[in-house]
Chain A
Amino acid sequence: MSGLTIRGLTVTFDGFVAVGGVDLDIPDGDVRFIIGPNGAGKTTLIDAVTGLARAGGSVTFDGQELLGRKVHRIARMGVGRTFQTATVFEELTVLQNLDIAAGWARGPLTLLRTRRAVPPEVEKALETVRLTAVRDSPAGTLAHGQKQWLEIGMLLVQNARLFLLDEPVAGMSHEERDATGELLGLLSADHTIVVIEHDMDFLRRFARTVTVMHAGKVLSEGTVAQVQADPRVQEVYLGHAVGEAV
């Protein structure tokens, strides 16, 4: 079974059920958007898949169980994620950030030596995420959108096959959103992408499939048109008056 398969996933914090029995199938090459009101459990779902939150149930990626493994082991299996607030190493340059992301498999001798040339995969990622020009700038000086792209570039060189992106276009300008959307389209050729997003316009343009979560459960699933036509989705969104507004 390839792709990401989630069965009966539950996450509880001190008795509060953040995710309560989620089943989800994300096939290889999908661009899946996960939407839902605040507190629906979207980020917690990603936390559970990446090993940050303890969870019950089962999560397999390419047939291998992820739950119970440590964060860095899951990352090594090809599962990469970004965060709502871009977290890059601000004092290091863009190149250094990418080089570190590309390097977990390096041996001690390579680590103790100085980087002599830019690794080809880093070079390629710099071009893909359009950061070649600012390669030697500290990551802390990048614009907000560029930081998110750098994170996506880090996933690329990390050899992640599954990208879990937590609100990648929040706070971005229209141009940046378009560029990010195009980037996702480009990446989907050989990666599986899961995006948590509140931006409905962005979703309509770039999602292939959509999962709507509500109160820790999957409410609806399908194409953008199917989900939009689902009366339960309309009820949840109208009831909470979010979605379009954000």
Chain B
Amino acid sequence: MRRPLIGFGLAAVALFGVAPLVLGDFRLNLLAKYLCLAIVAVGIGLAWGRGGMLTLGQGVFFGLGGYAMAMHLKLADAGPGELPDFMQLYGQLDELPWWWRPFANPVFAMAATVLLPMLVALLLGLLIFRRRVRGAYFAILSQALCAAFAIFLIGQQGTTGGTNGLTDIRGFFGYDLNDPLNRRTVYFIIAASLLAVLALTWQLIRSRYGELLVAVRDGEERVRFLGYDPANVKLVAYVAAAGMAGLAGALFVPAVGIISPALIGVVPSIEFVIGVAVGGRASLVGPALGAVAVAWAKTALSERAPSAWTYFEGLLFILPIVFLPGGLASLARLRPSWRRRQARIPAEATP
């Protein structure tokens, strides 16, 4: 009971105290971006690590959240009654499309960043889990959806910005994002969101629902005979993970200033999962730490040897799954038992 609280305290000190002091504006902004990926990872850890659903398409929900936020910010940047810059540029539209209009309202847009992905996940999940699609089929299906979503966005150049996405976002609810102080505030909002998501997931994992979710993961057919419908149990974790991905997408936009199909397609979706696999999918903080570590490694390696990263990324996915299924988080658990064994050997040697 006390250990998680200490962990939270340490994480809060690291995120709110140490990082802003040690890192410059550029690096802190990078960290803000990594923390967004960590929020996605916490959700994947819940759905995949605890629920056994390998979600290879979290980009869909990340994208929904990201686009919902970016649409509002573009409208706010353009000012009341004006079209966003890219719409004027392509010149196909005389007025705002009907489905853009509600996003002018900040409250609607903020709610939509989380609720829209959750609603989509709910509908998808009802279809998928009721039909007992699972395992590799579920993974392939979720990835295909992700590819379809990205292709759809690319096709709608006039209303979504197409391949370019929604770029050049300058303000965040009235604050100028070029101001380093405001960027710092964005970082703090993201860090606080990550802690909140971790706390929520912690409660989910240790609740009775969390135990039931593990039971469904390990014996989906068995829980039916106990009177549960596993589809509903999985649905809750899937929808929660989608909400987290949506929130992360929304926060990603002010941190990076852009959302585009390339950031939410198949490749980024797989990268989300790699971080989770490296960190340890079944643990609480493993996915978050793994996501930050992989994203940081990507930046560091790409700065030096851009072409090497792809190979390294492939290795990062394969190695933990083959040799360390519990991820880096399982190392922390291994060490005490290894120490105990070390301590026992001399005692056994002298009878």
Q: How far is the CB of B322 from chain A (nearest CB, A)?
A: 21
Asked, given contacts A50-B225, A80-B225, whether A92 binds B208 with beta carbons under 8 Å apart, the answer is no
Number of interface residues of A (CB under 8 A): 30
Chain A residues with CB under 8 A of B211 = 92, 96, 99-100, 115
Cβ of B222 to closest chain A Cβ, rounded Å: 5
B206's nearest neighbour on chain A, judged by CB, is A114
Contacts of A70 in B (CB 8 A): 224, 229
Is residue A90 within 8 Å, beta carbon to beta carbon, of the partner chain? yes
CB-nearest residue of chain B relative to A96?
Answer: B211
Task: Determine whether B89 belongs to the interface, using a CB cutoff of 8 Å to chain A.
Answer: no
CB distance from B296 to the nearest CB of A (A): 31
Tally of contact residues, B, Cβ under 8 A:
20
Central interface residue in A70, A76, A81, A101, by most chain B CB within 10 Å: A101
- Complex CA distance for A75 and B230, rounded to whole angstroms: 13
- Give the residues from 200 to 235 in chain B that come closer than 8 angstroms, CB to CB, to chain A: 203-204, 206-209, 211-212, 214-215, 218-219, 222-229
A103-B208, A103-B212 as given contacts; A112 in contact with B227, CB under 8 Å: no
A141 to B133, CA, bound (A): 31
A106 touching B225 in the complex, CB below 8 Å, given contacts A92-B214, A92-B215, A112-B203? no
Residues of A within 8 A of B (CB): 50, 70-72, 75-76, 80-81, 87, 89-92, 96-97, 99-101, 103-106, 110-115, 154, 158
17 contacts between A and B (CB under 8 A): A70-B224, A71-B225, A72-B226, A76-B227, A81-B225, A89-B222, A92-B215, A96-B215, A100-B208, A100-B211, A104-B228, A112-B207, A112-B208, A115-B208, A115-B211, A158-B226, A158-B227
Given A72-B224, A100-B208, A114-B206, 19 new contacts (CB under 8 A):
A71-B224, A72-B227, A75-B225, A76-B227, A81-B225, A87-B219, A89-B214, A89-B218, A90-B218, A92-B214, A97-B215, A99-B208, A100-B211, A100-B212, A100-B226, A106-B208, A111-B212, A114-B203, A115-B211
